[in-house]
Structure 1
Amino acid sequence: MVKKILFRFLIPAVCIFAIYCGYRLYLRYSVVEAEIEKVEVAKGDISVMFNDVGDIAPKNMVEVRSLVSGELIEVLAREGDRVKKG
């Protein structure tokens, strides 16, 4: 009687449990390949451009004044020209 119960219920239950545990391990350690998109690499320029709205203010501001007072008669250099002392 005990052998009948053992063969009919316990052994199939152990087999089903072993199959279930094996399947769980298979799912845990199976490797899933990621989809990879291949593109061709080429040299080129990267342009970065953005539009923004707001006020622009300098970090530092300097006021330039002459040490002597007088009237300016002639300007011999333009803005942005390089000049030498003398």
Structure 2
Amino acid sequence: MNSMALGIPEGAELVYLLLLLVLPAIFWIWTIVDCVMHEPEGNDKLVWLIVIVLIGIIGSLIYCLVRRPARIREQQQDPAGS
């Protein structure tokens, strides 16, 4: 009995499974950790966490494309972290 009959992915299907499920999950977790560790305390952190968690990968993309670059720019302008 081959592995496809058992429903076990192999070869290219395993690569597609990795690309479509595992990598986005890793990216999603990374954005949650980045938000928790680097966003200043307050409402912004809470709002971004809600966006990332509830909207999922789309929320993660929004965070990385919109907020993260702005936060990095803010930190470069004010290295003391006031």
TM tier relative to shorter chain: 0.3 to 0.5
Higher relative contact order (CA 8 A, sep 6+): 2
TM-score after normalising by structure 1? 0.33
Whose helix fraction is larger, Structure 1's or Structure 2's?
A: 2
Larger Rg belongs to: 1
TM-score after normalising by structure 2? 0.34
